[in-house]
Amino acid sequence: MLEVRGVQARYGDAQALWGVDLDVAAGEMVCIVGPNGAGKTTLVKTIAGLHAAAAGSVRMDGVELTAVPGHKVCDYGVATVPEGRRVFGHMTVRDNLLLGAYRRAARRVYRETEEEVYRLFPRLRERQGQLAGSLSGGEQQMLAIGRALMARPRLLLLDEPSLGLAPVIVDEVFDALAAVTRTGMGVLVVEQDVQRALEACGRGYLLIEGRIVTAGTTEALRSTDEVRQRVLGM
Amino acid sequence: MTATAGTTTAGSATAGTGAPKTVGTIPRGLLVLIGVSALVAVVATFSSDLGLASYHLVLISTVLFWATQATSWNLLSGFAGYFSFGQGAFLGVGVFTMAVMAGRNDVNYLLAIPVGGLLAGVLAFVIGAVAFRLRSLRGEIFALLTLAVPFILGSIALNTRSIDGGLGTTIPTPDRPDWVPSFQHLMVLLNLGAATIAVAVALAVYHSRLGRGLAAVHDAEDAAEVVGVPTFRYKMTAIVLGGVLGGMSGAIFAMMLGYVEVPVVFVLYIPLFIILICVAGGRRHWAGPLIGAALLVVLTEWFKVAKLDQYRDIVLGLLLVGIVVIAPDGMFGRLRRHPWIALVTFLVVAGGLLASGYYAELDALLYGMAASVVVTTLAGLPRVERLWRRQATSDSPAAPAAAPGPGTGAGSATRSSTGFAAPPPPPPGGRVLVSVEGVTKDFGGVRALDNVSFDVTEGEIVGLVGPNGSGKTTMVNLLCGAMQPTAGAITIDGRAIKGLAPHRVAHAGVARTYQIPKPFTSMTVRDNVAMAVMFGRTGASYAEARQRAEQCLATVHMQHLADALPESLNLHQRQLLEMARAIAAEPAVLILDEAFAGLNPAEIDDAVAVIRRIHASGVSIIIVEHRLRVLQQLATRIVVLNRGTLIADGAPSTVLNDAVVVQAYLGRQRA
Amino acid sequence: MNTVQVVLSGAMLGGLYALMAAGVSVTWGVLRVINLAHFGLILLGAYLTYQLVTIWRVNPLVTLVVTVPALFVLGALLQWAYDRLNIVEFNSLLVSFGLLIVMIQVAQNIWTADHRELPRDINPFDTGSLSLGPIVLPYDRLVCLGLAVLLLGGGHLALQRTFVGRGMRAFAEDRTVAASFGIDHRRLSVLLGGAAGASAGIAGMAFMLGNLIQPSHAYEWFGIVFAVVILGGLGNLLGTLFAGISVGALSGLVGVLWSHAYVPIAVFAAIIVALVLRPQGVFVRRRAV
């Protein structure tokens, strides 16, 4: 479904990605792990059209996305859960969710999607009228995921969903992602919490200093010394 | 005619010597200024012998008056970038001081002028004290607040009988000494005096610590604070100086008006015209307002004479829009590159038109200026420039930027010598430089740091690590005084820093770099570093500071880029610049915040070598970093934060094998 | 009783301030454009109302049919240009100031600097008033307040309840994330600019009901309108409405208790106090963290 080929990205003179290839199929959860500063966030932003690729191609079901402006990428079925959640703190929980359904195709069915999101995260239903800024970190993460789901994407991009969350909450988040994957959605997770990511995902990529170093099933990855070595430096 | 020629000369004289700014420029600039002023004074005094009509004197007075106001405004708003609409208020205070003292109470005008300056200075002090104390104050809000001040003063004046009361005041024709032939001559001399003082002040400020500090505030205010610039005091000084000068000149303005009433003085047109002058002329240099005043006053006078008054504001408004959109730096930057072309074009065109006899003086002046602007702009086009200037590299300040990718080359040389895998030096059991005791920091309801304690001893390189959101950046901000802890205490070299302003913490011996470099964009690499020396603990002079900056640049291998502007550097070089600026302050402790972010492996190795050199020169270092691999090579000790608490503190090898740390980094171990 | 009367009629006049402030507040809050040219649009709205009423001899409210679409287009064009040239924050202050001067001069060249007012025989709101016991409520101010409640209340609801409104609020908070959900800043700018322009047309009409107009009035609105904008909180229409009414009432109160001369000082002091205590605006729901 998602095909990334030879993507390069830079910030001014600093090159962050040096030719990245990766694939995500419908109904699978794939993770990208790697140490901080490896370019994981840049990769997510580049796929989501929020950062221009310097070279290479990003295709979604065969449609080239690198030329599509950032605000149109969601029309091709890609929704993002950004790093640090970035919920709209001055808006209510429900408003945040409805904003997710901003694009026309999603607007038509927003009531049904909203129900699905509440079923996935019952806590959000309880907090509907509350300002998103007043939620706890875990609830905000659920809201950010729910907001992305409201756009009815075929591919969900998540950047560091476990960041700053208590382990119990992280479990909940990954359970929800697994449930989403079972509906046939593709999920691409960027994670610093290597263990957790490898546990939850079917396949994974190890990204180091802007390059994919190893790829494969998470079983295989887990046994690679390289992961332990390169991420921890031991 | 004379006035404008005079100002252009003043501008071009410094422009010629402007590129290598040495201390010698102050006296030289002052000499030129005094010379020009004397020339104008002589021409004005003997104007009738030279065949100048009284109308010319009025024009000279007007140019001088607006030049004074614009120069005063520029001290704060141009140099430091805090736009103010309040200059009209200072001017107004001066006007009404003259009206009340000379107009209503028969006090000598020579007394009223300084009193006007004094009162306006007091007003400026009050505005500054209120506005600059507001922590959340952004530039736009400052501008809008100052917008209100003239209106408030206007309504007070209108409703106070002893000031105006809606009646207006006639200023009596002033007595003048015998050697001054007429009232208009007196006005020229008074305005000339005020303008000379104002420009002298601007010139002195521009070349002084104050001026450099204000420029740093303009470029990056928080970085300025960190290198030790007392920003509040400097901004106050600038606004008060601008107030005093504006008030004095306003008092003279009252005499020019002859009859003073509120609707003439407290109008938006006045601050607007001042802003327009400076935006058109150029705000970062003291000469910008002079050029702007000459251009715009002649332009508006031309409209008046041509009886096109009803189009004047349309043209001025569009001019403001056009300049902001097309040439936000103003004319000065363009004229300074080709001062002689500018002057010669102006003299030839204006002189030629005058000599032809078909054109009035004003037309000739305006067309001359327009031609000068057009020609210098054209001459500034790269293609044209290449035609006539072959050795373009010799005096263009941005040229050395072309130097090829330096970091890697220099780095590879040192890499072998430093010994890449060499174990870090053992920590000497010296004195404690930084002591963090039970520090807690809350943001709203979120606890970013929870009861964290650790020490840094002299000679150590401490790695401060932790996953994203673990509180590292908060810790850095607390250490350099940008934030205050909710609980707990931090001491630097035995001195508690609680409640100290960031620049005082800097003087206590803390220097930092930013993850995203914040260079002073208007200054060369050398001057960026020199700023930190000047405003550091020792407070060296500019010349000394530049010399010491060379040494600091040598430490980071950046000497060859000393004359480049920051915008031409790549990320690695900018981070090296951050380090050079930080060590220039001669800190006891240097905090490096993610100094390797975004660098490629070769650049990281280079940066590691630089950090080793800095450490070898006797600076203790705290490195905030994600990459444990780098820290293993570099740090003598590692402190690990996770979710705001300290979870490990010890030698790199022990810490990196600690189960808790592994879990924080790799996540929960599989059961 | 006099005090109550003054405060009430001040509060009603506050409706006019709120109408004027709405456009400034929304473009500043959402698009980060401080549009001083908005005052020029209000001026234009007022003069257009005057012109149309004098020619057609109709009720001033009817002229909105023409002025609102006209100013919508003008406002939209203006924001489109700002967006295109990427003029925000400080530069927008300067550029729009330049445009404002141009607009004032144009108005002066067309309608001269003399006072203009709606012909008294056609303006049904000019002299009449509603009497509630001893309290007299002049019609023109009632209309101002009514329009303000309608327009700002309606705008508030639109911002709260519609998809586009939510998009605007989201855009104001975090442009990047908003864009990733399909919000196009160009269309948003044009739409918001148009809405602000339309509100300027209504404000201009409302001003004409009980006042004389003169080109230099645009400058005189500055102080009080920005006070309302800052007190109300950027981009917050309900806050702007309450701030307008409060500033109006405060002005009335200060005027009757001390002197009219102290009104600007009182308002200015209120802004300073507000900036110190509540930098995000007084009439803003406090954000729970």
Classify the C-alpha dihedral B480-B486-B488-B494 as positive or negative.
positive
- B338 or A88: which carries more pLDDT confidence? A88
- Any CB–CB contact under 8 A between B162 and chain C? no
Across B437-460, average pLDDT: 86
Which of C169, C185, C288 is nearest residue A88 as measured by Cβ atoms?
C169
Q: What's the rounded Cα separation, in Å, for the pair B548 and B526?
A: 9
Which of B627, B628, B667 is nearest residue A195 as measured by Cβ atoms?
B667
pLDDT score recorded for residue B402: 37
- C138 or B71: which carries more pLDDT confidence? B71
Instruction: Say yes or no to pLDDT of B401 above 70.
Output: no
pLDDT score recorded for residue A135: 85
Contact criterion met (CB below 8 Å) for A167 and A143: no
Q: Where are the alpha helices (DSSP H) in A183-224?
A: 194-200, 218-223
Residue A173 in any domain: the answer is no
User: Given pLDDT bands bounded at 50, 70 and 90, which one contains residue B113?
Assistant: very high
Longest dimension (CA), chain B: 103
Tell me if B140 and C89 make a contact (CB, 8 A cut-off): yes
- Any CB–CB contact under 8 A between C157 and chain A? no
With 0-12 / 13-18 / 19 or more C-beta atoms within 10 angstroms meaning exposed / middle / buried, residue C3 is: exposed
pLDDT score recorded for residue B2: 38
Instruction: Say yes or no to pLDDT of B393 above 50.
Output: no
Query: Which residues does C143 contact at the CB level (< 8 Å), separation at least 6?
Result: C125, C206, C209
Residue range B432-509+587-666 in CATH 3.40.50.300: yes
Q: What's the rounded Cα separation, in Å, for the pair C227 and C247?
A: 8
Residue B282 backbone class (left: φ over 0; alpha: ψ -120 to 50; beta: rest)? left
pLDDT score recorded for residue A11: 80
Q: What is the pLDDT of residues C11-54, one digit of tens each?
A: 999 999 999 999 999 999 999 999 999 999 999 999 999 999 99
pLDDT score recorded for residue B5: 38
Tell me if C183 and A102 make a contact (CB, 8 A cut-off): yes
Which of B627, B667, B669 is nearest residue A37 as measured by Cβ atoms?
B627
pLDDT score recorded for residue B240: 97
Across B607-611, average pLDDT: 90
| Residue ranges of chain A whose pLDDT lies below 70 | 36-37, 228-234
Neighbours of B494 (CB within 10 A): 10
Q: SS3 of A19, please?
A: strand
Q: SS3 of C234, please?
A: coil
CATH of the domain at A4: 3.40.50.300
Q: What is the pLDDT of residues C126-160, one digit of tens each?
A: 777 888 778 888 888 899 999 999 999 999 999 99
Q: What is the pLDDT of residues B347-389, one digit of tens each?
A: 888 888 888 877 777 888 888 888 888 887 777 666 666 665 5
- Any CB–CB contact under 8 A between A19 and chain B? no
Closest alpha carbon within chain C to B322:
C95
Tell me if C259 and B141 make a contact (CB, 8 A cut-off): no
Q: What is the pLDDT of residues C48-76, one digit of tens each?
A: 999 999 999 999 999 999 999 999 999 99
pLDDT score recorded for residue A84: 83
- Per the structure, the count of domains in chain A is 2
Residue A171 in any domain: the answer is no
Q: Which residues in chain A have Cβ-Cβ distances shorter than 8 Å to C181?
A: 74, 79, 99-100, 102-103, 147, 151
Which of C93, C259, C289 is nearest residue B143 as measured by Cβ atoms?
C93
Q: What is the pLDDT of residues B259-310, one digit of tens each?
A: 999 888 888 788 888 998 999 888 888 889 998 999 899 988 888 888 888 8
- Which of A88, A139, A159 to mutate: most C Cβ within 10 Å? A88
Closest alpha carbon within chain C to B272:
C97
User: Given pLDDT bands bounded at 50, 70 and 90, which one contains residue B428?
Assistant: low
Query: Which residues does B97 contact at the CB level (< 8 Å), separation at least 6?
Result: B112, B115, B116, B119, B120, B247, B250, B251, B254
Tell me if B134 and C276 make a contact (CB, 8 A cut-off): yes
Neighbours, chain C (3 or more CB pairs < 8 A): A, B
Tell me if C90 and B83 make a contact (CB, 8 A cut-off): yes
Across B131-139, average pLDDT: 73
Tell me if A12 and B571 make a contact (CB, 8 A cut-off): yes
Q: Which residues in chain B have Cβ-Cβ distances shorter than 8 Å to A193?
A: 666-668
Tell how strand B637-642 and strand B620-624 pair up.
Answer: unpaired
CB pairs under 8 A between B and C: 112
Q: What's the rounded Cα separation, in Å, for the pair B407 and B385?
A: 32
Tell me if C94 and B151 make a contact (CB, 8 A cut-off): no
Tell me if C275 and B155 make a contact (CB, 8 A cut-off): no
- CA distances B365 to B42, B308, B337, C222, Å, are 21, 17, 22, 37
Residue B479 backbone class (left: φ over 0; alpha: ψ -120 to 50; beta: rest)? alpha
Instruction: Say yes or no to pLDDT of B421 above 80.
Output: no
Per-residue b or e along B386-407, where b marks 16 or more CB atoms closer than 10 Å to that residue's CB: eeeeeeeeeeeeeebbeeeebb
With 0-12 / 13-18 / 19 or more C-beta atoms within 10 angstroms meaning exposed / middle / buried, residue A173 is: buried
pLDDT score recorded for residue B24: 52
Q: What is the DSSP letter of B403?
A: -
Among residues B70, B546, B124, which one has the least CA distance to residue B273? Answer: B70
Cα B365 to chain center, whole Å? 33
Tell me if A95 and C163 make a contact (CB, 8 A cut-off): no
Instruction: Say yes or no to pLDDT of B514 above 50.
Output: yes
Neighbours, chain B (3 or more CB pairs < 8 A): A, C
Q: Which residues in chain B have Cβ-Cβ distances shorter than 8 Å to C260?
A: 155, 159
Q: What's the rounded Cα separation, in Å, for the pair C178 and C175?
A: 5
Q: Where are the alpha helices (DSSP H) in chain C?
A: 2-26, 37-56, 64-84, 89-111, 139-161, 163-173, 175-180, 185-210, 217-232, 237-257, 263-277
Neighbours, chain A (3 or more CB pairs < 8 A): B, C
Q: Which residues in chain A have Cβ-Cβ distances shorter than 8 Å to B447?
A: none
The answer to whether residues A64 and A83 belong to one domain is no
Q: Which residues in chain C have Cβ-Cβ distances shorter than 8 Å to A88?
A: 169-170, 173-174, 177
Across B594-600, average pLDDT: 75
User: How near does any CA of chain B get to the CA of C40, in Å?
Assistant: 13
Q: What's the rounded Cα separation, in Å, for the pair B589 and B506?
A: 10
The answer to whether residues A59 and A100 belong to one domain is no
Radius of gyration of chain B (CA): 29
- Any CB–CB contact under 8 A between A74 and chain C? yes
Q: Which residues in chain C have Cβ-Cβ distances shorter than 8 Å to A74?
A: 180-182
Q: What is the DSSP letter of C21?
A: H
User: How near does any CA of chain A get to the CA of B278, in Å?
Assistant: 32
pLDDT score recorded for residue B662: 72
Closest alpha carbon within chain C to B320:
C98
User: How near does any CA of chain B get to the CA of C102, in Å?
Assistant: 4
Residues 304-323 (B) with a CB less than 8 A from some CB of C: 310-314, 316-321
- Any CB–CB contact under 8 A between C284 and chain B? no
CB pairs under 8 A between A and B: 73
Tell me if B155 and C263 make a contact (CB, 8 A cut-off): yes
Among residues B149, B95, B144, B156, which one has the least CA distance to residue B127? Answer: B149
Element of type H or E holding B149: helix B139-159
pLDDT score recorded for residue B277: 92
Q: What is the DSSP letter of B177?
A: -
Instruction: Say yes or no to pLDDT of C280 above 70.
Output: no
The one-letter code for the residue type at B118 is L
The answer to whether residues A90 and A148 belong to one domain is yes
Q: What's the rounded Cα separation, in Å, for the pair B518 and C38?
A: 35
Q: Which residues in chain B have Cβ-Cβ distances shorter than 8 Å to C87?
A: 324-325
Give residue for tokens 């001459």: B379
Q: Which residues in chain C have Cβ-Cβ distances shorter than 8 Å to B83?
A: 90, 93-94
Tell me if C180 and A49 make a contact (CB, 8 A cut-off): yes
pLDDT score recorded for residue A223: 75
Q: Which residues in chain B have Cβ-Cβ distances shorter than 8 Å to C219?
A: 267-268
Tell me if B325 and C85 make a contact (CB, 8 A cut-off): yes
The answer to whether residues A19 and A70 belong to one domain is yes
Which of A90, A100, A133 is nearest residue C181 as measured by Cβ atoms?
A100
Which of C102, C264, C279 is nearest residue B148 as measured by Cβ atoms?
C264
Neighbours of B165 (CB within 10 A): 13
The one-letter code for the residue type at B323 is I
Percent of chain B whose pLDDT exceeds 70? 86
What is the model's pTM? 0.82
Residue A174 in any domain: the answer is no
Instruction: Say yes or no to pLDDT of C111 above 60.
Output: yes
pLDDT score recorded for residue B245: 97
| Chain mean pLDDT for chain B | 81
Residues 181-200 (A) with a CB less than 8 A from some CB of C: none
Angle at C266 between CA C264 and CA C270, to 5 degrees: 115
Residues 102-141 (B) with a CB less than 8 A from some CB of C: 130, 134-137, 139-141
User: How near does any CA of chain C get to the CA of B158, in Å?
Assistant: 8
Structure tokens at B641: 């934060």
Contact criterion met (CB below 8 Å) for B171 and B187: no
Highest mean pLDDT among B1-15, B177-191, C187-201: C187-201
The answer to whether residues A190 and A212 belong to one domain is yes
- CA distances B381 to A11, B37, B374, B389, B627, Å, are 29, 34, 11, 12, 47
Residue ranges making up the domain that contains A218: 1-75+155-165+186-234
Contact criterion met (CB below 8 Å) for B502 and B482: yes
Instruction: Say yes or no to pLDDT of B396 above 50.
Output: no
Q: How does DSSP assign B225-240, residue by residue?
A: HHHT--HHHHHHHHHH
The answer to whether residues A160 and A57 belong to one domain is yes
Domain at C2-114+128-277, CATH class = mainly alpha
pLDDT score recorded for residue B239: 96
Tell me if C288 and A71 make a contact (CB, 8 A cut-off): no
- Any CB–CB contact under 8 A between B166 and chain C? no
Residue A172 in any domain: the answer is no
Q: What is the DSSP letter of A22?
A: E
Q: Which residues in chain A have Cβ-Cβ distances shorter than 8 Å to B467?
A: 36, 163, 192
Q: SS3 of C156, please?
A: helix
For residue B441, the cross-strand partners are B449
Angle at B180 between CA B177 and CA B181, to 5 degrees: 125
- B660 or C92: which carries more pLDDT confidence? C92
Structure tokens at B547: 């010399």
Residue boundaries of the structural domains of chain B? 56-289, 432-509+587-666
ipTM reported for the complex, 2 dp: 0.89
Residue A230 in any domain: the answer is yes
Instruction: Say yes or no to pLDDT of B20 above 70.
Output: no
pLDDT score recorded for residue B667: 58
The answer to whether residues A145 and A190 belong to one domain is no
